[in-house]
Every structure is written in structure tokens, then in C-alpha cells.
Chain A
Amino acid sequence: MVQQTEAIAPDTQHEAPPEVVKSLRDHGALPQWRLMWRQFRRHRLALIGLIVLIPIYFMAVFAGFFAPSSADTAHTALPYAPPQRVHISAEHGMFVYGYSSTRNQETFEQTFTVDKSKIVDVGWFVRGDEYSVVGPIKSNIHLIGPTKAGEAFFLVGADQSGRDLLSRLIHGARVSLSIGLVGVFASFLLGMLIGGISGYVGGRVDNIIQRIIEFIMSVPTLPLWMALSAALPGSWGPLTRYFAITVILSLIGWTGLARDVRGRFLSLREEDFVMAARLDGVGRTGIIFGHMVPSFASHIIASISMAVPRMILAETSLSFLGLGLQPPAVSWGVLLEGAQNIRAVATAPWLLTPGLAVVVVVLAMNFVGDGLRDAADPYK
């Protein structure tokens, strides 16, 4: 590597684009994260994404409270029951109408009609299925639900076993949203470690690591995931399976991140301010953790935030194919598996709502990631 930086009279190097100096005004005392926040705020879509994501994650954390029932409470008599509308009247307060079902004599298909004679009272903070808030602390208060526990209450309809889709969606969000974070965290650790070694040590080690990464990247992901998850023993419980899937997802996800980290290390090693620290007499670890990691941390966070939606999509695809999580575990992918049947979708289109949830979340995350990426280097 040739290391020469003898530029000639670059007086004008810093000329012209006033964008360079736009951060000069009045915030000389602001640390990096404040500058980043300023920049992020200007990215309107990213802000919208954030505003969408925060309540969704909040809901996922307190799924038991926000969901009207547990994920498994089934009304076997009401498969594919359509969504109910909430009515408000002076007489009854908040209520929904019940169903009356008739069976088509020719096709044996069950059809539901709204039965205005059956009134199900609905209230805020009602008692219903028991759930655990945190660990052993249990509660049975739900944000919204039928005042008389156990009555059918399907705001977005029911699935093939007569389970409330909204409740399943909210419970499924826990898995779907957390698998992205956990998976990314695992690939982050791997990527940082391997990429860091590759970039800092360089030479032969770097060469070997890069070739391995290239190999992994060249393997088509979907078949690999499928093969790996198909190899998981069927006897594993949902929790073990969850972690196994996370590991499988992150095994592949780390490569991009490792390359990113390595690239940053390599370019930072040549930075003047890193050399300045070395000439100040700062040791290796001091330089890495005092100067190098802080300068690329924001970039890494940005690229991680772009990796989360990819993980969510991967989990959804695997579960949709029946290779990821399996019932009784609930995730958006598992829910979508129920919508594989065209006829079921034709009669009960609300089964596709988990897909809508995936789209909304992934879009919002991409927007946030975009905003983070733009804000990652506020000094540009």
C-alpha cells in the first residue's frame, strides 16, 4: 500500500459547497449524537417511520395487555368469522353484534351474518385471559375486550380455528419484531469481531477472512436457510426453535456487516486523526476504542438498522414456508402460513393482515435506517 498524501495547494479543496460549512452555525458545543439527532429530524420519512415503530414495539412488549385475548383462545364454532364493527349507542354504550352462522346446504360452507339481536358489550380495561406481564407477575386486564369474558370479539376477524386474529397479530409481533433485533445483535457481534480482526490485522488473515465471507455470500440464502431449518429436530420446543432460527439467520447476516466494519477500519487506519493519536503516543487499544470505534459506531448502527427488516422478512418467509417457527408459536410468518390457501383467502381476506403488518413495519424500519444513515456522519 502506498501511503502518500502530498496534495498540492489544496486551498480550494474546502471551497465552494457551503454544505460543508452548514454545520458551523451555533452548535460548536454539541456532541455527535446531538448533531445526528438534528440531522435525523430533518428526514421526514425517517421521523414518520420512528413514530410508527415506537407504538408497535410498545404494543409488542405489552402484548398481553393490548391483545383482547390470548393467542390460543379459540371459538371453535366460529372459524373464519368476519371482522366486527364497534358500535356505540346511548343504550348499550360500546358494543359489537354477535354472529349467527348458517351452513350452506350444497357446499357445506359456513357463512356468518351479523346478528343484530346478539349484543356483545365491549369495554376498556376489562378482565379476560390471564397473561404474564413480566416473569411471574400476572394480570388479566386487557385494554379492550368483551365485558363478559369468553365472548367472541374479532375486530379483524378470526382464523380457521376461530381464534381472534388481532390478538394473534399482537402476540405474533413479539416474535417477529424481536427476532430481528436478536438476530441482528448476534450478527453484529460476529461482524464486529471478525470484521475488526480482518481490518485491523490485515495481511494474510484479512485475505483468508475475505475469501470466506465471499464464499458465504455466494451461497444462495433461501435454500441454505431451508436446508438448515429443515435439519432442526422436530422435537424441539418453540423457544429452542426460536433461538435456532435466530442463529441461522445471523449466521448469514454477519457477512455484510463484517465487510462494512473491515472497510471502516481500513479507511480509518489511514485517517490523519488516527495517525495523530498514534503520534501522541496513544496505544493500540486506546486508538481503537477511543477514536476508531466511535467514528464508525454511528455508521454501524445505521447499517444494523437496515439489517433488522431483512431479518424480519427472512423469518416471515421461513415460517410462511413452514420451515421457521411452527405452531403453537405465533409469529407473523406463522400467521401468514394460514393464508397460503387461495380459497381461505377468498372467503377470509383478513387473513392477509399479518402481511400488511410486515409491510408497514419493514417500510418504517427502512425509512428509519435511511434517516440514520444520512445522519451517521454529521460532519460531512
Chain B
Amino acid sequence: MNIISLILIYLGLLVMLIGSFGVARLPDIYSRLQASGASDTVGVIVILAGFLLYKGFRFSDSFLGLLILFFFVTGPIIGHSIAKSAFLSKVEPSQSRDKGEDA
């Protein structure tokens, strides 16, 4: 259990936690998509990279590299497809400004 994998795993967990908090709290679908699209992909990739070095790199762990490549490709595609379908269904981004009137 070397230090590098420990650091990577905890960083990935932090990214994932903040992203999920953003998904729960943000006002409308588009800002939630921004939060979840980026944080999910990065969190998963960093955690899997941490597990790559967990017990020293063995050939059986090369499967994790495949997982990393898969999430590296498909993460943005998921966010894009949801945003596109929301936009085409005429979902309006919320105009609420915390500071009351528009500037």
C-alpha cells in the first residue's frame, strides 16, 4: 500500500464528493451537468489510477488501464448527450440571481 496510490485514491474521492455535492445543490440541470460530468469522470479516473499502483503493477491490473481508457472516452459523451437532449426539449436555464435584480 504505497503512498502514491493512497494520495491518488483520496484525491479522487475528494473530487467525487465535491461533484456529488454540486449535483445536489446547483439550481438547474445545466449547472448540475457541468458539476457531474467533469467530477465523475475525473474522480473515477484518478481513483482507478490509484488502484493501478496499489500492490505494484501486475499484468492482471492492466484491466484497470482499460477501465481508465473507457471512462476517459465515455465520460464527456454522457454529459454531452444529456445536455443535448435537455436543450432540444427546450429546458430553460434558471434566471434566478442570488443578488435579486439583474445587473
Q: Do A and B bind each other?
A: no
B: which residues have CB within 8 A of A?
A: none
A: which residues have CB within 8 A of B?
A: none
